[in-house]
Amino acid sequence: MTIDNSRSGSTNLGRRDFLKKSVLATAGMTLAGGLGVARSAHAAGSDTIKIALVGCGGRGTGAAINALQTRANVKLVAMADAFKDSLDQSLATIRKQCKDRVEVPADRQFTGLDAYQRAIDSDVGMVLLCTPPGFRPRHFEAAVKAGKHVFMEKPLATDTPGLRRIQAANAEAKRKNLAVAVGHHLRHEVKHREIVRRIHDGQLGDLTFLRVYFNSGGLWIRPRQPGQTEMQYQVRNWYYFTWLCGDHILEQHVHDLDVGNWIAQTHPIEAQGMGGRQVRVGREVGEIFDHHTVEFTYANGLKMFSYCRHIPGCWEAFSEHAHGTKGVADIQGYGPAVMKIAGQRPIRLRQGPDGHQVEMDDLMAAIVAGQPYNEADWAAESTMTGIMGRIATYSGKIVTWDDAMASEVDLTPKNLAWNSPTLVNPGPDGCYPCAIPGVTKAL
């Protein structure tokens, strides 16, 4: 059986109906009860939702375009980035695609490490928080304090103290009836929703185990420039520093870990694993590992086997797999999903509409309708799952959820200015120290 969801969802719904249904579905699966979303997103006397973008890199630029391409009347009016060249490039790209929805004059283009606050304080109803995740807790706290609706990228933090700040700010966001969306686009992919619905309906029987993968060849390096402070270098090369990125088990693989938790309908209670750096060596690659393998255990004994790798020339995969007593579901991050049940013809779902656009359609439609919308509770659990996995691979020890949640290991420097000292620094050979399992105390 093949269901064609390539245009508008798993049935032949038009885009408008699909949008309405997906908003209702999302609202239903997020916040139970509560009042409607505050209408403060709209400028007085108009239906325009004014937004600010904080973090104008690849994803921030994409998220802003997604927001401007929803059916809601959205205008981008302020932007903030640590670096002017990133902001300029992003603004040019967004203008090219959404010209009439961009009003960002020079005095609403903010740069520097405190630029986020000035963008949040602009006359906007909503902010898109798309910097490296190490900054997310302080940016989210500031946005909630200022009463703004939020779209924020995953992961939500890089360490447990940061995660607890996210949870506290999210409780405040709920009290203020603010909409909070998180960039877990797979939760908005039609094929993911349909397969997970079927699993929750019991079509696979009892779950026996889960497998999740994010294996790729790695990514960009931004070489050190003359005159850069160490802080500037690390923020430019954020991916390679755990306080900024969380390591790729968190930054990328959190997508798959989140799908595992979604299928299991909870978070794991324990993790043990191994990881290291086989080919990621040298001065330009900071401190993160290039591979992690973790066995996560849920309270009911279910196991999730997790694999992520940044090594070129190897097998690549971005996928989630659920095994049950009656069959198996194989879900590609980008690509089809297939459910095979013994004795039946396989169910094959095509890729469908881009989850990045659908997640923003869902958020904006909820804001316009004044409906409750909050994705940060389960997203925080998924972020914490990645943090717990990293604690397990860095330490080589068995780690429980409770111990990981109680951790006071704070990776972020207290002062964040371009000349502030950094907590991780290169040794005499120019290389950064990295975790050594069996030696490193990651809790």
Ligand X SMILES: NC(=O)c1ccc[n+]([C@@H]2O[C@H](COP(=O)([O-])OP(=O)(O)OC[C@H]3O[C@@H](n4cnc5c(N)ncnc54)[C@H](O)[C@@H]3O)[C@@H](O)[C@H]2O)c1
What is the contact surface with ligand X in residues (CB under 6 A)? 54-60, 80-83, 86, 113, 115-116, 130-133, 135, 153-154, 183, 185, 235, 251
- Least Å from the CB of residue 386 to ligand X: 11
The angle, 0 to 180 degrees and rounded to 10, between the axes of the packed helices 160-175 and 376-395 is 180
Q: Which is nearer to ligand X, 112 or 437 (CB)?
A: 112
Q: Which is nearer to ligand X, 238 or 298 (CB)?
A: 238
Measured between alpha carbons, how far is residue 421 from residues 24, 161, 225, 413, 414 in Å? 47, 20, 18, 8, 9
Q: Which is nearer to ligand X, 4 or 88 (CB)?
A: 88
Q: Which is nearer to ligand X, 42 or 139 (CB)?
A: 139
- Least Å from the CB of residue 269 to ligand X: 25
Contact of 195 with 324, CB cutoff 8 Å: no
Q: Which is nearer to ligand X, 42 or 118 (CB)?
A: 118
- Least Å from the CB of residue 341 to ligand X: 30
User: Who's near 318: CB < 8 A, 6+ residues apart?
Assistant: 213, 214, 215, 216, 255, 256, 332, 333, 334
- Least Å from the CB of residue 429 to ligand X: 26
**Length of the chain counted residue by residue:** 443
The two structure tokens encoding residue 126: 């909503």
The two structure tokens encoding residue 430: 């120019």
Nearest alpha-carbon partner for 58 in 93, 9, 20, 23? 93
How many of the other CB atoms lie within 10 Å of CB of 416?
15
- Least Å from the CB of residue 12 to ligand X: 27
Amino acid identity at 105: P
Q: Which is nearer to ligand X, 202 or 335 (CB)?
A: 335
Q: Measured between alpha carbons, how far is 398 from 297 in angstroms, rounded to an integer? A: 11
- Least Å from the CB of residue 146 to ligand X: 16
Looking up tokens 């391409």 gives: 69
Q: Which is nearer to ligand X, 59 or 326 (CB)?
A: 59
Q: DSSP secondary structure string, 70-105?
A: SSS-EEEEEEEESSHHHHHHHHHHHHHHHGGGB---
Tell me the residue nearest to ligand X as measured from the CB.
57
